[in-house]
Amino acid sequence: MEFYDSCAGTRLANCLPSWLPLGALTRRTRSAQNSKAGEDSPRLHDHPPRQNSRPPYDDDDEESSNEESEDEEGEDEEPEPKTKDNEPIEMPEETRDEWIRRVTESGIATDSSRMQEFLRLFRALQEEYPDEKIAVVSERTKVLDLVAIILEQDGNTCVRYDGRVPYGDRERVLRSFQDSADTSHILLITPGTGGTGLNIPQVSIMIQIELWWNLNVEKQMRGRFHRHGQDKEVRVYRLKSNANVDRIIAKNQESKGSYNDSIMECLIYYDDDEVVIPPVFEKRELDDEETEPYRLSPADLRALNPGLAAKRGE
């Protein structure tokens, strides 16, 4: 199994919700973009912000830039979004379908450097391995919604296998993807739904959109494709950004992975290891004291064990 980490940079998509892994850096990133001379963000101003998100920044608003610098110094509570006149902004609620339609029509799905790197990597893999099936994996269904939008805009079709797929339809969807060459060769899957108990050797390329806190979940997900019946080299590509959040997650994975490996080392055997089975008894010569009972006659043994002879009625 080949494993790669692909660096995706740090710039974030304007459309990503605040609960995504890098969402905490959104405010600083947008401020850095708007602070460049002669630049503005028309897409940010064209679309209303989501609940719990910051309002669009105005390059001419000095008060906004002051608030931004305070946020960068580490304030715990985010101020309520307000207009220039210091009036609260009513945050519109939108359904999943409305959100998908807004992102699709505006074309902001690829504003994230992570998604740009994903699309670049996907196109390169598709060109180099045109006959191999690809699995795109994320812990969040909303990220897979973004991936689906990007791939469909690029002329591809996808098969979804996540928590939104009815339980009764999952086996049929997966079997259709595995058995038919006419269906899409792209599988969008979450570890929560497909991380255990599945055998998908038809997939030989896995693209992991973000790092996960639990390294064992990552290994379980890779194991879905490295199964009996796999006749290709499994390639795993993991998008990792230079942002602090990804660095913290990677460091956590390294420390916990090292600790876990040290515990499991004695239980792991590899295919090319020589299996050594320790003998039950140690082979050695018996001393005279140990062999003496075998040299005695039955009468002598009964004399040495009168209690045993009495029980036998002799």
Is position 290 within any domain? Answer: no
Residues 96 and 221 both lie in one domain: no
The amino acid occupying position 253 is Q
Phi-psi region at 156: left, alpha or beta (left = phi > 0; alpha = psi -120 to 50): beta
pLDDT at 309: 62
pLDDT at 91: 60
pLDDT at 43: 41
pLDDT at 75: 41
* HSE (side-chain half, CA atoms, 13 Å) at 270: 3
pLDDT band at 120; cut points 50, 70, 90:
very high
pLDDT at 83: 58
Is position 296 within any domain? Answer: no
If one counts the domains in the chain, the total is 2
Please count the other Cβ atoms lying within 10 Å of the Cβ belonging to residue 168.
Answer: 7
pLDDT digit string (tens) for 187-232?
A: 999 999 888 889 999 999 999 999 999 998 999 999 999 888 888 9
**Any residues with CB less than 8 A from the CB of 267 and at least 6 apart, and which?**
none
Look at 76 and 202; give whichever has higher pLDDT: 202
Residues 230 and 154 both lie in one domain: yes
pLDDT at 305: 78
Residues 93 and 114 both lie in one domain: no
pLDDT at 248: 93
pLDDT at 49: 44
pLDDT at 238: 93
Whole-number average pLDDT of the chain: 74
Specify the range with the lowest mean pLDDT, choosing from 124-128, 190-194, 299-303: 299-303
Residue where one domain finishes, among candidates 105, 127, 161: 105
Map residue 161 onto helix, strand or coil: strand
pLDDT at 4: 65
Residues 59 and 123 both lie in one domain: no
pLDDT at 20: 34
Residue where one domain finishes, among candidates 49, 72, 105: 105
pLDDT digit string (tens) for 41-67?
A: 334 334 444 444 433 323 333 343 344
- Range 269-281 average pLDDT: 76
Residues 157 and 231 both lie in one domain: yes
> Does pLDDT of 162 surpass 60?
yes
> Residue written as tokens 């598709």?
126
pTM assigned to the model: 0.59
The amino acid occupying position 72 is E
Is position 301 within any domain? Answer: no
Nearest to 117 by CA among 136, 145, 96, 139: 136
Residues 38 and 99 both lie in one domain: yes
Residues 99 and 115 both lie in one domain: no
Distances (CA, A) of 267 to 3, 141, 216, 264, 270: 24, 35, 16, 5, 10
pLDDT at 273: 80
Q: Which two tokens stand for residue 269?
A: 């055997």
Residues 53 and 127 both lie in one domain: no
Q: What is the domain extent for residue 132?
A: 2-9+110-267
pLDDT at 274: 81
> Does pLDDT of 35 surpass 70?
no
